[in-house]
Structure 1
Amino acid sequence: MSDRFDCKNCNESLYGRKYIQVEAKPHCISCYDRLHANTCQECKEVIGHNAKELFYEDRYYHEHCFRCFRCDRSLADEPFTSQDHGLVCSDCYCNEFSSKCVSCDKTVMPGSRMLEYDGSTWHEDCFTCHGCEKPIGAEAFIPDKNNYYCVPCHEGRFAPQCSHCKKALTKGGLTYRDQVWHQECFRCSGCEAPLAGQTFTSQGEAPFCVKCFSSLYAKKCSGCNSAITGFGDGKYVSFEERQWHQPCFKCSRCSVSLVGSGFFPDRDQILCTDCNNDD
């Protein structure tokens, strides 16, 4: 008599019948489906031994139940994602959840290269400079109303130009006689020394450092023969064709200050009242 070959659960003979082994133990089809088959997440029915089964995020599905919950498209061979209500194909996801490019009005597909700014979204290639129309990509840009410019285009169109080199002035700089200058471009018209942060004056429209102005244009003090520049103490006295620094305006004989006092010219000299009376 031959050995028995029975289902390990119901003990019915398996000779001439289909069976499935579970942990090396044979089970009839009925017992296998009842005890070991998975339940479909979608329809909540058993996924029988002869049905094609799909697995996603610890859940099991019949092949025909693995579908987009919006358009009912089969997802067995399609890209998809999951939402709270179920599985969604890429088209439905994009139509409902993806942004649209404000330039071309087409969907920005998940995972594609894009740029977001101020609540708007662009394909990377659609975010272009309003001036040169080249893609800005990851480079710096400057918004202007509803347009966006790369830095070179914005500087060329809107930034003030240095009065000396005619290049865009983007930061810093200074203003002189209603004109703007790069700090490094604002120089003495005589020796070309930088004047930014230095004391300077002008002759006509041209700026000069103190040294150049003194040697080229300043009048000489009749007392000390040094230039009268107007800097420092600054105050001076002028009489006829002669000028004096205020400290130098004193009696030629006794050296008393004549500032605010009467004086008497005597050829190249100036005299106080007392010295003049002594004559």
Structure 2
Amino acid sequence: MSSDVKCNKCNQVITQKILTALGKSWHPEHFVCRECGAPIKDPTFNEKDGEPVCVACFTSKYSDVCFACKQPIREKVIKALGQTWHEEHFVCNGTCNKPISGAPFYEREGKAYCKDDFEKLFASKCTGCTLPILDKAVIALDAKWHKDCFKCKKCNKAITSDTFAVEDNKPLCTACTA
């Protein structure tokens, strides 16, 4: 049995310089890109189906393309909303424009939003204070209210009963109508 090392490309015995990569041995001049055939001399290269691929070919043929900038993604790929993104380009479409990779986000019409911007832009607004309603709402007088904002027009106390009066389209508690 021979212990001679054979080149993965030409299957000939390697007698001088030997290059070992991808768990195989090669004549240095036979360690070439599977796509363009150019010798790979850089210490950085890629692999496809067990064969070496130069960085340029790998980027052009196999890298995902960022939905935002249309450039190849060479680092971490973010997959969201049916698209691929550079980590720094997957950002909130609201007012903050902050990266939201790795954070919970909300989707509306195919766009991503951070929690704060989503609430500011799309949550129902309270008729009393105009802030977003993030919990249960009181629905009265054809409007939505925070529970604590649905107050009597006269005494300013929260109306907690199902019965109230209306004056100038504002609620009045039963005590102030008597």
Task: Indicate the TM-score class for this superposition, using the shorter chain for normalisation.
Answer: 0.7 to 0.9
Deviations 1:85-119 (A, max 9, x none): 6221222222222210011000011xx24421132
> Partner amino acid for 2:34?
F
SS at match of 2:65: coil
User: Could you tell me how far apart the structure 2 residues matched to 1:119 and 1:161 are?
Assistant: 30
Matched, 1:207 2:168: no
Structure with larger RCO (C-alpha < 8 A, sep 6+): 2
Residue 136 (structure 1) aligns with: 99
CA offset at residue 172 of structure 1?
A: 2.1
Look up the match of 1:11.
none
Query: Quick one: structure 1 residues 92 and 84, their matched pair in 2 at CA, closer, same or farther if it must change by over 3 Å?
Result: same
Where do 5+ consecutive residues of structure 1 fail to align?
Answer: 1-33, 219-279
In structure 1, the partner of 2:151 is: 187
Distance 2:81 2:111 in 1: 12
Q: Percent identity?
A: 26
CA distance in 2, matches of 1:186, 1:91: 64
**2:66 aligned with 1:106:** no
- Quote how far apart the aligned CAs of 1:38 are: 0.4
**Conserved in 2, the CA contact under 8 Å of 1:173 and 1:180?**
yes
Q: Is the 8 A contact 1:172 1:182 kept in 2?
A: yes
Q: CA deviation at 1:133?
A: 5.8
Provide TM-score, normalisation by structure 2.
0.82
Higher-strand-fraction structure: 1
CA distance in 2 between counterparts of 1:166 and 1:74 reads 66
- The answer for unaligned runs of 5 or more in structure 2 is none
What's the C-alpha RMSD, in Å, of the aligned pairs? 2.5
Pick which of 143-152 and 67-76 moved more.
Answer: 143-152
TM-score by length of 1: 0.55
Amino acid at match of 2:49: D
Q: Which residue of 2 aligns with 1:123?
A: 86
